Structures are given as structure tokens and as C-alpha cells.
Amino acid sequence: MNVYFNHDGGGDDFIALLLLLQMSDIKLTGVSVIAADGYLEPSFDASRKIIDRFGKVPVEVAKSDSRGKNPFPKEWRLHSFYVDAFPILNESGKMEAPVSELPAHRHLIEKVRGEEGKTTLLFTGPLTDLARALDEAPDIEEKIDRLVWMGGTFLPKGNVMEPEHDGTAEWNAFWDPDAVARVWKSGIRIDMVALESTNKVPLTLEVRAAWAKLRKYEAIDFVGQCYALVPPLIFFETNSTYYLWDVLTAAYVGHPGLVKVKTVNSVVYTDGVRQGRTAEAPDGRPVNLIYDVDRDGFFDYITELMKQA
């Protein structure tokens, strides 16, 4: 399976990259980084360092020049600097993963066109680069097998808690709602790993403790460091509570049997207090909603992958 990965520099985006690099039955054709939940330079450098340290073959990395409508909080975005500075990523003192001079959306076009077969697109941040790629090169649609996207929700409560918003949206959709609308307009199959399923895999103290015991494995130590930067779920959810959003999304690509899927007809709102909200609508476009996960199976799967890294 060809997979092209676009991520946005959040702590769990890096872990998703690490996991993809361990999946023996996928070919990672390229990686691009958009400055949404992280800053561009550290997210880009950290991605190259993760490929160098945990990858088996070189993978080319590109930077996005896309900008969103609703910026992520700076406190979250700063995590990209911390991860990039982890000693485990800086031991060699160099970066070797190849760099593309193309902006991410053109890099995506190049990589999709360049493969003989179809490509699965994996997006763990906003859809801006895909929307731009489709506008610039509508021909690539037929070479895209499907989009696997961490984003959106049909629950009454999303995870955006911002002034002038009603709280119904998920952040990756809220950052650029117009991009979601553009992708919804396409004919691409969409597998949406929404809050319905990611809410079932919060970062808890038990998860941390289990990984702490396995820190002799380098990849698990690295993941433990990433999750040390964010508060776990203890008594109740706060705006900073962390879930294994993108990690579940990557795991779904490698092991689809872990989740439950149903088809939902959906629209996205692009304006006003509900912008970024995905909602069920009888005449909306069909998407495959990943709404449930075998939690233990998921943790076993990712832990095994990390042990082998």
C-alpha cells in the first residue's frame, strides 16, 4: 500500500510518523508538514530526525506554505520545539532524510502522480494542502485510493473551546473549514477517524505507567517523552486533555480490524459560530466514520510496533 503522510506537528503527529515507519506492508512515498498545531521549522526538522532514527529507508519531506483561518493556541504549538530538541533525536548531530523544495501540496501531487498504483493519503492535521492540490491538479483524484483523515465529529461536543465558537467543531476542521468543504466536494473516498473513536483512547496515567516500564525500547522511551509534555486525563476532561488522536489514525491504516466503521452522509459548516462542524445530513456526501475502537487491541498493536523499532 502506498501511503503519503501530511501532518501538522502536534506531539501525536510525530508518534504517528514513527509508527508508519515501522509498518512493513506500507510504502511511505512522502511526508509533508503544515504549520498548524506546531511551528514549521521544528516540525519539519523533527520529522526528518524521526525518519533518520526510526525509519528503515529514506523518505522525502516537504514543507507546507499553507495558512489557516483559525490558529491553534501557541501553548500547543510550542510542543514542536520541545520534541525537536529531544536528545534522542539529536544524538547524531545531523539530518539526512531528503528534502523537497516543493511546497507540500505540490509535493503531494508529484508523489501521487509518480507512483504506478494508487496512493492512500493520510492526513493528521487540517486538509488545506489536499484542498490546494485538488484545485491545482484535479487529475490526481483518480490516483488517490482514499483519504484517511483524523478530523471532525458528529458528536454534539467537539474539542474547540474558543471565543465566538459554539464548541461543536473538531480542531483540524476548524483550522481551515473551507479546505474540508473542498475535499467533501471531491469524489475521493474518505475514512474519517473522528472524535467518536479517539475519545475512547485518552492519555491516562495507566498508559504512561505501562510505557514507562518499557522505556528500554528506544521508541517507547521517545513516545513517553512526547506524552510527558501534555496533561493526562485524570478526573475530568479539560481543554488540554490529550487523546491518542493521530496515533489511532495511523494504527487504523496499518490494522483496520481494530475499529468499527459506518457510513454517514455529511456536510461541513464553513462560517459563523459553528464553522468547522461536520454534521449529519441525509443529502450530504457519504463518509466512512470510524466511530469505535478495540482499545486493548490498539494498545497491544502500537506497543508491538514500537518494540520492533
Distance (Å, whole) CA 15 – CA 267: 30
- Contact between 146 and 139 (Cβ < 8 Å): no
For 183, residues 6+ apart whose C-beta sits below 8 A from its C-beta are: 127, 130, 131, 134, 147, 190
13 lies in the binding site for Ca ion (CB under 5 A): yes
45 lies in the binding site for ligand AGV (CB under 6 A): no
Q: Residue 213 CB, nearest distance to Ca ion (Å)?
A: 27
Q: Smaller CB distance to ligand AGV: residue 97 or 203?
A: 203
Residues within window 221-280 making contact with ligand AGV, judged by CB under 6 A: 240, 242, 245-246
Q: Residue 242 CB, nearest distance to Ca ion (Å)?
A: 11
10 lies in the binding site for Ca ion (CB under 5 A): yes
Window of 58-66, 170-178, 211-219, 278-286 that interacts with ligand AGV by CB under 6 A = 170-178
Residue 186 phi, psi (nearest 5) = -75, 175
Q: Smaller CB distance to Ca ion: residue 110 or 170?
A: 170
Distance (Å, whole) CA 290 – CA 197: 6
- Contact between 50 and 92 (Cβ < 8 Å): no
Distance (Å, whole) CA 100 – CA 259: 34
Orientation angle between helical segments 245-254 and 11-22, nearest 10 degrees: 20
125 lies in the binding site for ligand AGV (CB under 6 A): yes
**What residue 54 binds from ligand AGV, Ca ion, none (CB within 5 to 8 A, per partner kind)?**
none
Question: Cell digits for 264?
Answer: 454517514
Element (H, E) at 7: strand 2-7
Neighbours of 113 (CB within 10 A): 12
Q: Which of 172, 270, 275, 278 binds ligand AGV (CB under 6 A)?
A: 172
Site string for Ca ion, 108-137 (x = CB under 5 A): ----------------xx------------
Distance (Å, whole) CA 236 – CA 153: 20
Residues within window 239-258 making contact with Ca ion, judged by CB under 5 A: 246
Q: Smaller CB distance to Ca ion: residue 57 or 225?
A: 225
**What residue 242 binds from Ca ion, ligand AGV, none (CB within 5 to 8 A, per partner kind)?**
ligand AGV
Q: Smaller CB distance to Ca ion: residue 54 or 149?
A: 149
Cell 500500500 -> residue: 1
176 lies in the binding site for ligand AGV (CB under 6 A): no
Closest CA to 68 of 156, 164, 132, 1: 132
* Contacts with Ca ion, residue ranges (CB under 5 A): 8, 10, 13, 124-125, 246
* Contacts with ligand AGV, residue ranges (CB under 6 A): 10, 12-13, 37, 76, 124-125, 150, 159, 170-172, 240, 242, 245-246
